[in-house]
């Protein structure tokens, strides 16, 4: 297939209710946040977590020693959801470089890992890259990452991808934020559709999600009805 450090200012929920405005979802209360402890966290920066569907693999980027460069990807595993997290392991040179790798996002089928990097071979600034693996339960099966091309990436900051598989029959979509010209604010939300030939089409501004302020790091729900940013 051919496909193939940002400050958080606010968290926003956008709900698209298919039936009627009165059909609001019923959310339970969130528990208090719990620090994952010194096994996961260090005296260096850890951020951009992504967890597997079975809850047994946790990917994140870190500036800790032992990596290839500025920030690299690491993965921690556990035997069950009740078991403690094991010591994180560096994902290796197929994913990491001496440059910055950050903000991991798994596709719903977990074959693809999308992320941001400023490594050479891109279009400028930060670009979005992706790596494929055949075996979805092997966190070290990732193949060398590829740049997602000029449909997604620009000479400006393009970052924080969120892949929507669109299982109802539409084209898969990649949401991300970008500082490219033509937006409404500092960084805005953009979307690119995956073509049948495996390449991503030209990214378009999602005006409904963008403003004169800063919008960053979209995360779309698996059914496409909600997006957090």
Q: Residue 23: what pLDDT?
A: 60
Q: Residue 182: what pLDDT?
A: 95
Q: Residue 22: what pLDDT?
A: 53
Q: Residue 28: what pLDDT?
A: 85
Kindly list the averaged pLDDT for each block of 10 residues, start to end, along the chain of length 229. 41 43 71 94 95 95 93 97 96 95 95 96 95 95 96 96 91 97 96 95 96 95 93
Beta-bridge mates of residue 188:
178
């Amino acid at each position: 297939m051919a496909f193939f450090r940002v400050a958080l200012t606010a968290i926003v929920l956008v709900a698209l209710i298919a039936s009627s405005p009165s059909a609001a979802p019923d959310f339970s209360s969130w528990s208090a946040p719990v620090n994952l402890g010194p096994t996961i966290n260090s005296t260096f920066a850890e951020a951009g977590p992504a967890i597997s569907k079975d809850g047994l693999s946790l990917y994140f980027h870190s500036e800790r020693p032992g990596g290839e460069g500025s920030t690299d990807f690491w993965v921690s595993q556990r035997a069950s959801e009740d078991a403690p997290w094991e010591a994180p392991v560096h994902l290796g040179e197929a994913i990491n470089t001496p440059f910055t790798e950050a903000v991991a996002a798994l596709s719903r089928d977990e074959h693809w890992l999308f992320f941001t990097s400023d490594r050479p071979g891109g279009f400028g600034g930060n670009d979005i890259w992706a790596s494929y693996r055949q075996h979805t339960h092997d966190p070290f099966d990732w193949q060398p990452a590829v740049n997602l091309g000029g449909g997604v990436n620009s000479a400006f900051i393009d970052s924080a991808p969120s892949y929507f598989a669109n299982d109802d029959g539409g084209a898969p979509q990649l949401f991300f934020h970008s500082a490219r010209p033509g937006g409404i604010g500092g960084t805005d939300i953009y979307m690119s559709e995956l073509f049948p030939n495996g390449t991503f089409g030209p990214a378009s501004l999602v005006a409904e999600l963008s403003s004169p302020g800063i919008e960053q790091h979209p995360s779309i729900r698996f059914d496409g009805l909600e997006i957090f940013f």
